[in-house]
Amino acid sequence: MAGKALASFADFVAVTNERQLTPSTEMINDAVKNTYTLRDALKGRGFDEVIQSGATITDRIQLTAGTQFGFYKPNDQFSPIIEDTVTKQICPWRFAKDLWSWTDQELELNEGDRFVMFKKLRDTKKQASYVSMFNGLEDAVWATPDYASMEATGEQVSQRPYSIPAFITETGLTAWEASSHNLMQVSTATNAKWRNQIVNYQAADPDGTLVSAFEESWLRLKFEAPDTKEQYFKETKFSKMKIYAPLDGRKMATRLLRQTNDRNYPTNDLGYAVEDPTFGNIPIKWAQPLDSAGYTTGQPRFFWVNLEFLVPVFHAKRYFYQTDPINGGHTQPFSWVVYCDIWYNWFCRSRYRQGIVVPV
């Protein structure tokens, strides 16, 4: 008699159940991303720093200093003037949601012992929703800047939060120059300090020029205060700085690290450089959404993001707000849905303290 596959034995299949490897409450979700910038942005922040209210998110910034400094001779006459140096920043709320839904039948019939319930269906639905939500928020962090949905006032077809590439551009101006010079309703054309720092490396020789470009970027983003007037100045806290790049850029930084420091005695670990490389103790991190930004291979961009001055702000009443289960009504009385509602936007307190290293 010829042999056949075990699944072909009908009686065996009918009387033999599967053996579940893990508990019904444990479910591996591989729909996740490798990296989440939002995690870095929220880490270590106080509740009052990222939770706000009001019709819009606003702040004030000084983009110009006073102009009345000068030397004088005894008994000179002065002509003081009143100067306006404060600029208002305006950032609208943006609204996002996710949900999970179910019917009584599918949840009730899922209940039972491990021979009936391989995985708890309610948990898998909730988990899938939360992963979807954080994946969507992460994609929005690095989304291609768009004037109509990010900056333009009035009713728009679609409204999106600002993204990091909207604040950190390769020109220092707005990412939508053809449409407007405004970013958070502040003009980049008339305010030179409302522009990010830009440093170049040579696309034809990244190994020979990238490190020096990083050194220049570090210097441009380092701000010191005079010893006696610290309250009027904001020194740079590099502990709040991150350098984000596509995988191509992260690998380039690791390669340069190995080339300049190829000894790891006594560990002899071939993978000693796989942890995030650093520059001046600033982590160089992979931002996964940047892999689809369309950069030429071997010519990545490096975003120097100071998260002390670039922060996601959430509305106090809609910070990952979860509704009670909502019934489908008299036409679908056995169906339910739970929404998670988020009102937020990214707010940049200072573009001048953000930077980018770009190939030329």
Cα angle at 22 between 16 and 23, to 5 degrees? 100
CA pair distance 305, 240, nearest whole angstrom:
8
**Mean pLDDT score of the chain:** 85
3-state secondary structure of 285: strand
What pLDDT was estimated at residue 16?
56
What pLDDT was estimated at residue 328?
92
Instruction: Supply the Cα-derived Rg of the chain in whole angstroms.
Output: 27
pLDDT in tens, 182-232: 999 999 999 999 999 999 999 999 999 999 999 999 999 998 877 665 555
Sequence-ordered strand ranges (E) for 194-309: 197-201, 241-245, 278-279, 282-286, 302-306
CA quadruple 326, 329, 331, 333: dihedral, nearest 10: 70
DSSP for 308-338, please give it: TTEEEEEETT-SSEEPPPEE--TTSTTEEEE
CA quadruple 343, 133, 276, 40: dihedral, nearest 10: 20
CA pair distance 65, 229, nearest whole angstrom:
15
Kindly tell me if the per-residue pLDDT of 1 is higher than 70. Answer: no
pLDDT in tens, 113-146: 554 444 577 788 888 898 999 999 999 999 999 9
Three-state SS for 26-80 is CCCCCCCCCCCHHHHHHCCCCHHHHEECCCCEEEEEECCCCCCCCCCCCCCCCCC
Q: Could you tell me the pTM of the whole model?
A: 0.85
Q: Which DSSP letter does residue 165 get? A: H
What pLDDT was estimated at residue 118?
47
Q: Residue type at 135?
A: N
